[in-house]
Structure 1
Amino acid sequence: MKRNTHRSRHLTGLAVGGVLLATGLPAAPAYSATPAPRIDLKVLVVSDGGPATEAITAELDGEGTPYTVVDLEQSGRPVIDAAFLADTVNGTPRAKYQAVVLPNDNPFPTGSAEMAALAVYEKSYAIPQVDAYTYARPQVGLQPAASSGYSGSADGFKAQVTAAGRSTGPFGYLNGSVPFEDNSPSVSESYAFLAQPAAGADFTSYVEAPIPGKAGNGTLVGEYRHDGRRELVVTFAYNQYQEQFKLLSRGIVDWMTQNVRLGASRNYFAVHVDDVFAGDDRWDPNLNCTPGDVDCPPGQGVEDSIRMTPDDVKNAVAWEKSRGFTLDLAYNGGGSVEYRENHDGADELADQLALNKGDFRWINHTYDHAFLGCEQNVSVVPWKCATNPDGSTKYVSQTEISKEISDNQQWAQGFGLPVESDELITGEHSGMKLLPQQPQDNPYLAPALAANKIDWLGADMSRDPEQRQVGSALTVARYPINIFYNAGHVSEQVDEYNWIYTSRAQGGSGLCDDLPNTTCLPAPLSTTTGYTGHIVPLETQVALGHVLGNDPRPHFIHQSNLAEDRIGYPVLDGVLDQYKTLYAASAPLVNLRMKDIGAELRNRGAWNTAVKAGQVTGYRIGDSVTVQAPAGVAVTATMLNGTNQVLGSGSSAFGQAYAGSVSGWVSPQTGQSSVSLALAPAPARALAPQSRPAPSAERATPQSAPRTPVPTGVSKPVPYSAERR
């Protein structure tokens, strides 16, 4: 069978006197105002353009949580005053924002009326405030870092969530460890102020690290309760891409919204294994290409196929059971048919997969893995599209595309595979646009998908990342793990890796010299230690970064990576092992099949579009939450445990449990114009009497916070580096 396979590479007049919630008790506030005020489910982000507030807005975007930004650097920005923060709706006092995020504890000039307005607003309506990145000082309940703690680089810190952070605080979904990245020995990637609570301050530390050169720990994240207000104080610099922020971002949002918000976040991991039943052509280390594939000139080398064995199937099943994880096998039925033709009707691999078919999920990968875009002219390297006599691009026909889809579906049904007929991954994601050769989709792809009732179409994240419509189908972008399809042995993987990622001067291809944003290896990797020492930790960290980013899109490898040296497992084990170390059982990895991932992406797209267009309204009055969205747009929300959806004739439980709350998608019942949710009653508790002195004159006149340093590796993120892991 002639096959063209691909490589996976990374080429918010005020009513005064509100009573605040107790630390860690996300209950309905007890207010002195009558009636109970309306709190809009939207966050106010006051930004100075720094990476910390940008990271928090990125997290809100990812969750689908509405927010308003006031940019302090922008001329003509709105003035933050009483009218900006609150008003009255139908006789009910309204707080326009459920939380306030500031770049530090006070980014305004000393004595600012805007900061005073925020302080009154927060106290009046029990609104939490996040200090995104601030200096450790008495104004935030901490001793000065300069005199009693530490200020400086936080690269490589081994921070820990405190007992309070895990129990009454917002980080109970973590096991405790919060490692800080250290990707480059020559670049400062983070900066922190470590200090202990000031004497008499009502301060609870949630995340700490040892103070270098001194005894005891200093706070990195903690809650300061003062003057009838609550602040979450963060004393380290970060950006949205760093692992330490990704680990803590959910808890920051949980804390500020008190686990009642629009939007949701989970950690997802799915792995597709392509080319099952077929074989993958092998890399030739002497020719530096793959005989039988389009990167080798015709006639060069000897074709050699990598194909799983029955023992590889048994190993995959045992691995799944030991990890509690299900793989998705993308199958090419023609591969088995061809194998039987060449082996007297025998195919032990197919027989074993038939016995274990219920242990996997299955996805149509086309019958022969044919290239379904333009017809390829492979007489040159790189290949180019064949043309018609008039010079137009010659495309694979609708009939051929449809046959590849339907033949594979029929073969699977005859073979007894438990398949979903509306899912498809074409060979090499072909048929869709592919630069530089094919800048548009094959025009025959869309009608072929419709004819075969395909709803979900796999796409390559590296070249087609956004979900889009192709005929009847919506795309599901997949992340390539940088383990090559044409490598069954470690030595082959390292050899090809060296060829791609070393400079011409070092004997490599020089692609890294030519492509922007690609760094050449300082030296070729050792064939003995390069895989486990560099490639595995790097690919593990890249994949884990996707997992920790509330990103449901799947990753993919190839069946060859489960054969021979089984080089795919170390990366998959690395992701699962690190995740288990970092996260508590309340936040399990969510392992979805492709169509469910597609539906999640579709729902998010519609929701985010409506949110950005100002078409979503959500608010809380006491223990009742009301959400209005455009017709046909499902609502995503995170709520307190025990929340119910109020229906016309009763109620039903809302959402699914995850990370200490419940979350999910919900729509109004027929006849309802909005979603109504009832929060479970929970005890509210006022702030305990404070043992520290009464507010000083300094506090009555808000003091602006000093500017905090932003290291190079935060302002411009440092890429992952396996050597520093």
Structure 2
Amino acid sequence: MKRISGTTLLATGALLAGLVLPGTAARAAAPEPRVDLRVLVVTDGGPATEAIAAELDVAGTPYTEIDLTRADRPVIDAGYLADTTDGRPRAKFQAVVLPNDNPFPANSPEMAALASYERTYGIPQVDAYTYARPEAGLQYPVYGGYSGSLDGATAQVTAAGRAGPFGYLDGAVPFEDNSPTVGESYAYLSTPVTGADFTPYVQATIPGTTRRGSLVGEYRHDGRRELVVTFVYNRYQQQYRLLARGIVEWMTGGVHLGASRNYFAVHVDDVFAADDRWNAALNCTPGDVDCTDPNATPDPIRMTPADVDHAADWQAARGFTLDMAYNGAGSVDHREDNGGADPLADRFLARRDEFRWINHTYTHAFLGCEQDTGVVPWRCATNPDGSVKWVSRTDVSDEIAINRVWGQRAGLPLDSGELVTGEHSGLRVLPQQPADNPHLGPALADNRVVWLASDNSRESGGQRRVGPATTVPRYPMNVFYNAGRAAEQVDEYNWIYTSRAQGGSGICEDNPATTTCLPAPLDPATGYAGHIVPVERRIALGHVLANDPKPHFIHQSNLAEDRIAYPVLDGVLDSYEALFTADAPVVNLRMRDIGRELQRRDVWRAAVQDGRVTAYRVGTTVTVEGPAGLDVPATMPEGTLRAGAAFGEAYAGTRSGWTALGTAPLGLTLPAPAAAPDNGQAVTAPAPVPSPAPPARVPEGVTAPVPPGAGG
């Protein structure tokens, strides 16, 4: 019997659809579906799906997570995925993230429901980490591919990747190799199955060959689209951080709530003052409260006019601005001791408009409890009744106010709402002072302080309120305040991070979780450039790539003498510029803007979690509903309009930013979709491939950051 081809059936159906039978009316066109701006993340508890969920969470992109390991999880069926609202079909999720291409048992009705949903509504699927196999559009690795470590390798974004979701990258995707004893980057490298409609976006050279295998690629089949990722990763690893933005842009088509930037800000504390120098013989810092040796003589480190010129010229060359946290008494005291002369302050003031400035209190006094330094470590002094002796409200307020007035009279371009207290004092510090100075909040109110710096290494829980102010957590760089020369930095680093048997402090023996421990002391001549700089560069760059605006802080001593801060700062900026295109620059905010960014994120996250935000797309119209006054972060394609004007700001090939909701819903108009490119490949089923031996167990991957080291 003659068979009727599928093509003939389609053509016949199209012809019949165009006819209207006598006595019948033309059937009205079905309404265009509504697609909610929310991602479905199906996880098996592995690091890859956790990494994608973390990226969505930090950006503020709504998602729903289903944990396959929980017995009480919801069942994924047609009703869970879609319904009808106001007479219009509704897709409840704009994208689906799975642990691999199919994490369900054979013939699972849940996978069938997902596949049908994706076909019906054009919903893309991300395979967070999958084995290379024909079901994912790739040959098994045993057929000319590779299974194994990519530690230290450099992958490349393909031309299709740069023209598509990874266009913000310059091309190279380096894989970390931080520890020679830990496998960090297991991967499967393979080529597409013959006849498969598969486009590689990120590739790496297959070891032992000149051919490249896919690490990230798009597989189109059966009316569905999958982003196939064949390497394991966690949320902290550089290779994932470089690709995370593109994974989200691919799955959402560049239309989603939430926004992401790459931020870097550096505060320089103690400007105009001097920082006491580390003493290698005593293993302490004379002048510090815990350095009680009677032979300890302070040896101050203070910048010079030449250091000021170097800092200003460096800023101009890098297109980057440092924030100078100053102590006015440092200059006043210097003039008193030097016949009224202070060339450092004179040079800074001559070039004051080239820097940003922050009030760091007048004398850098400790503003918490009164310190009893008669014991080591110090403790809080107490009253006769046993209560803590606190620095008074007047004394705290004077430290803030006198320094502000000094800066204003000197013409410094200040924001009076910003404050960094000396050593973040006044705030709780464990173990000696487990609570804030109760007089700190009122003193901040006296001086209208809005943003108060805190130490992120002490307070890792994010922002909190202190009186009228909100904290801005800062990352301390491991470039020490008491080091102006590289050799001093190495000596102190060795003492802190080596064992007692090696002459060190033993902190790593007492706390094995310390990530910067050393197996042996560093060479004083090469340890700084060879070990410390790469480690600090890698740590800081990790923050930059994580959509984390929190500032880093160093000290004026690090810009003096050997100027040891610059190799780290240059390392961060050079690495960044080598990885990203010019349309994704580092965002360099001042303290108040960082505080506002963090604050808005918290408010937005709470509104989403409480179900007070609804957002969806119908055709080229995006609608966002929520409480009036709520700031909404969103990312949209270039050409998106709001009330006839361009939406947001350009960044990394998209438009993004914050928009306050009014009493009416927010409406955005997307650009008309471009025609799909013709890649000349037929959409066909994969060609049959001989079955290999059963594949090895898929590695679970590294679930925590590997301790930074000198390797790689």
Q: Tell me, yes or no, whether TM beats 0.5.
A: yes
Change (3 A) 1:147 1:317: same
DSSP 3-state at the match of 2:702: helix
Change (3 A) 1:344 1:697: closer
The answer to whether the 8 Å contact 2:641/2:669 transfers is: yes
Within a 5 Å distance, the mapping from 1:245-260 to structure 2 comes to 245-260=240-255
Give the Cα–Cα distance (whole angstroms) in 2 for the partners of residues 158 and 370 of structure 1: 49
Residue of 379, 389, 405 corresponding to 2:400 = 405
In the alignment, is residue 666 of structure 1 matched against residue 659 of structure 2? yes
In structure 1, runs of 5+ residues without a counterpart are 1-16, 18-31
The answer to whether the 8 Å contact 1:181/1:242 transfers is: yes
Deviation, structure 1 residue 414? 0.6
In the alignment, is residue 683 of structure 1 matched against residue 678 of structure 2? no
Please identify, of 182-191 and 358-367, the stretch whose mean Cα deviation from structure 2 is larger.
Answer: 182-191
Give the Cα–Cα distance (whole angstroms) in 2 for the partners of residues 76 and 383 of structure 1: 52
> Which amino acid is 1:217 matched to?
R
In the alignment, is residue 627 of structure 1 matched against residue 635 of structure 2? no
Deviation, structure 1 residue 631? 3.5
Give the Cα–Cα distance (whole angstroms) in 2 for the partners of residues 86 and 522 of structure 1: 56
Give the Cα–Cα distance (whole angstroms) in 1 for the partners of residues 320 and 332 of structure 2: 29
> Which amino acid is 2:537 matched to?
T
In the alignment, is residue 112 of structure 1 matched against residue 104 of structure 2? no
Give the Cα–Cα distance (whole angstroms) in 2 for the partners of residues 656 and 589 of structure 1: 14
Which residue is equivalent to 1:616?
613
Change (3 A) 1:708 1:165: farther
Higher relative contact order (CA 8 A, sep 6+): 1
Residue of 354, 379, 383 corresponding to 2:378 = 383
Which residue is equivalent to 1:351?
346
Which residue is equivalent to 1:499?
495
Aligned-residue identity in percent: 65
In the alignment, is residue 211 of structure 1 matched against residue 206 of structure 2? yes
Give the Cα–Cα distance (whole angstroms) in 2 for the partners of residues 357 and 668 of structure 1: 39
In the alignment, is residue 719 of structure 1 matched against residue 703 of structure 2? no
Give the Cα–Cα distance (whole angstroms) in 1 for the partners of residues 167 and 681 of structure 2: 26
User: Which whole-Å deviations, capped at 9, do the CAs of 1:615-642 have from their partners, x for residues lacking one?
Assistant: 2211011111111223432100101112
Structure possessing the higher radius of gyration over alpha carbons: 2
In the alignment, is residue 67 of structure 1 matched against residue 80 of structure 2? no
User: Which whole-Å deviations, capped at 9, do the CAs of 1:546-598 have from their partners, x for residues lacking one?
Assistant: 00000000000000000000001000000000000111111100000000000
Within a 5 Å distance, the mapping from 1:279-678 to structure 2 comes to 279-297=274-292, 299-465=294-460, 466-518=462-514, 520-646=517-643, 651-669=644-662, 672-678=663-669
Change (3 A) 1:136 1:694: closer
Deviation, structure 1 residue 516? 4.2
Which residue is equivalent to 1:10?
none
User: Which whole-Å deviations, capped at 9, do the CAs of 1:394-421 have from their partners, x for residues lacking one?
Assistant: 0000000000000001001111111111
Give the Cα–Cα distance (whole angstroms) in 2 for the partners of residues 179 and 187 of structure 1: 17
Change (3 A) 1:200 1:424: same
Give the Cα–Cα distance (whole angstroms) in 1 for the partners of residues 479 and 685 of structure 2: 62
Which residue is equivalent to 2:123?
127
Give the Cα–Cα distance (whole angstroms) in 1 for the partners of residues 433 and 377 of structure 2: 13
In the alignment, is residue 39 of structure 1 matched against residue 35 of structure 2? yes
The answer to whether the 8 Å contact 1:274/1:329 transfers is: yes
Please identify, of 183-192 and 438-447, the stretch whose mean Cα deviation from structure 2 is larger.
Answer: 183-192
> Which amino acid is 1:675 matched to?
L
> Which amino acid is 2:99 matched to?
P
Deviation, structure 1 residue 709? 4.6
The answer to whether the 8 Å contact 1:207/1:219 transfers is: yes
> Which amino acid is 1:103 matched to?
P
The answer to whether the 8 Å contact 1:143/1:197 transfers is: yes
The answer to whether the 8 Å contact 2:283/2:492 transfers is: yes
Give the Cα–Cα distance (whole angstroms) in 1 for the partners of residues 308 and 684 of structure 2: 69
The answer to whether the 8 Å contact 1:237/1:710 transfers is: no
> Which amino acid is 1:237 matched to?
V
Which residue is equivalent to 1:200?
195
Which residue is equivalent to 1:236?
231
Which residue is equivalent to 1:225?
220
Change (3 A) 1:411 1:218: same
The answer to whether the 8 Å contact 1:190/1:711 transfers is: no
Residue of 74, 77, 83 corresponding to 2:79 = 83
Which residue is equivalent to 1:12?
none
Q: What is the aligned-residue RMSD (CA, Å)?
A: 1.9
Change (3 A) 1:686 1:338: closer
DSSP 3-state at the match of 1:598: helix
The answer to whether the 8 Å contact 2:454/2:471 transfers is: yes
Give the Cα–Cα distance (whole angstroms) in 2 for the partners of residues 396 and 137 of structure 1: 67
Deviation, structure 1 residue 684? 4.1
Deviation, structure 1 residue 115? 1.0
Give the Cα–Cα distance (whole angstroms) in 2 for the partners of residues 456 and 692 of structure 1: 56
Please identify, of 672-681 and 523-532, the stretch whose mean Cα deviation from structure 2 is larger.
Answer: 672-681
Give the Cα–Cα distance (whole angstroms) in 1 for the partners of residues 522 and 680 of structure 2: 62
> Which amino acid is 2:126 matched to?
V
User: Which whole-Å deviations, capped at 9, do the CAs of 1:356-378 have from their partners, x for residues lacking one?
Assistant: 00100000000000000000111
DSSP 3-state at the match of 1:403: helix
> Which amino acid is 1:592 matched to?
L
The answer to whether the 8 Å contact 1:140/1:224 transfers is: yes
In the alignment, is residue 136 of structure 1 matched against residue 137 of structure 2? no
> Which amino acid is 2:676 matched to?
R
DSSP 3-state at the match of 2:707: coil
The answer to whether the 8 Å contact 1:187/1:713 transfers is: no
Give the Cα–Cα distance (whole angstroms) in 2 for the partners of residues 430 and 717 of structure 1: 30
The answer to whether the 8 Å contact 2:259/2:635 transfers is: yes
DSSP 3-state at the match of 2:225: strand
DSSP 3-state at the match of 1:147: coil
Give the Cα–Cα distance (whole angstroms) in 2 for the partners of residues 349 and 664 of structure 1: 40
Give the Cα–Cα distance (whole angstroms) in 1 for the partners of residues 393 and 263 of structure 2: 35
Give the Cα–Cα distance (whole angstroms) in 2 for the partners of residues 579 and 451 of structure 1: 42
Give the Cα–Cα distance (whole angstroms) in 2 for the partners of residues 279 and 134 of structure 1: 55
Give the Cα–Cα distance (whole angstroms) in 1 for the partners of residues 535 and 687 of structure 2: 52
Give the Cα–Cα distance (whole angstroms) in 2 for the partners of residues 236 and 513 of structure 1: 34
The answer to whether the 8 Å contact 2:630/2:661 transfers is: no
Deviation, structure 1 residue 343? 0.4
